[in-house]
Chains A and B, each alone.
Chain A
Amino acid sequence: AQSVSQHNHHVILSEAASLELGCNYSYGGTVNLFWYVQYPGQHLQLLLKYFSGDPLVKGIKGFEAEFIKSKFSFNLRKPSVQWSDTAEYFCAVSTTGTASKLTFGTGTRLQVTL
């Protein structure tokens, strides 16, 4: 069975700082990778996803993630965070033939200070 690790549990950054959130998965086969975000009081929503092709994926609100197959990683990045990026971020993985079943990481709480 696949698993997902997010090693940063709580990250505090000042506005305009650069962000990188780590995500590693364990699975030997083909995977699809996702980052979801949950803003305070809001639904969980998709930030970006990787299925195939260019390993550098761009999502909403200036976020991007890079799939590095050799490292089993899918780290999330943003060059300059804003206060409105304060949220909880979840990495998730699905594998072929599992009816879209996602396995989530434990989440990273990002706090951006003014």
Chain B
Amino acid sequence: DVKVTQSSRYLVKRTGEKVFLECVQDMDHENMFWYRQDPGLGLRLIYFSYDVKMKEKGDIPEGYSVSREKKERFSLILESASTNQTSMYLCASSPPTWMGETQYFGPGTRLLVL
């Protein structure tokens, strides 16, 4: 079974803090993704990566950055957390496109910014 793990299930931070969300997958997948999930808005793509050290902006990258130093790990960074970044953050991974595009999701990190 594919396993995608996220470092925290719940996180509480203060406005202005730097926040790191970590994601690790164990299936040697090339592609990794960060989404945020908000009620009534569904999942929105923040950033994705199709290879080590490669990153692409998604639909809502403002206020976020990412890092992918190793194939299995994809980090989401909130440089200066704000209250409007309170959300559920989901990480996903997928194999190369030619192998099918199913994304496998982690359990999510619920972030509260006070």
Residues on A facing B (Cβ under 8 Å): 6, 9, 32, 34, 36, 42-46, 49, 51, 90, 92, 94, 97, 99-107
A6 surroundings in chain B (CB, below 8 A): 42
Given contacts A6-B42, A90-B42, A104-B44, 11 further A-B contacts (CB under 8 A): A34-B101, A36-B105, A43-B4, A43-B106, A49-B101, A99-B56, A99-B97, A101-B33, A102-B45, A103-B59, A107-B42
Q: CA A32 – CA B102 in complex, angstroms?
A: 10
Q: Is B76 an interface residue (CB 8 A)?
A: no
Within the complex, what minimum Cβ distance (angstroms) separates A97 from chain B? Answer: 8
Within the complex, what minimum Cβ distance (angstroms) separates A78 from chain B? Answer: 21
Report the interface size class on chain B.
20 to 34
Within the complex, what minimum Cβ distance (angstroms) separates B2 from chain A? Answer: 10
Q: Is the CB of A43 within 8 A of B107?
A: yes
Within the complex, what minimum Cβ distance (angstroms) separates A39 from chain B? Answer: 12
Residues on B facing A (Cβ under 8 Å): 4, 31, 33, 35, 40-45, 48, 50, 56, 58-59, 90, 92, 94, 97, 100-103, 105-108
Q: CA A93 – CA B97 in complex, angstroms?
A: 14
Q: CA A98 – CA B90 in complex, angstroms?
A: 19
Q: CA A102 – CA B32 in complex, angstroms?
A: 12
Q: Is the CB of A100 within 8 A of B41?
A: no
Nearest neighbor of A41 in chain B, beta-carbon distance: B107
B101 surroundings in chain A (CB, below 8 A): 32, 34, 49, 51, 94, 100, 102
Which of A36, A42, A43 is most buried by chain B, counting CB atoms within 10 A of its CB? A43
Nearest neighbor of A1 in chain B, beta-carbon distance: B59
Q: CA A92 – CA B94 in complex, angstroms?
A: 15
Q: CA A90 – CA B92 in complex, angstroms?
A: 15
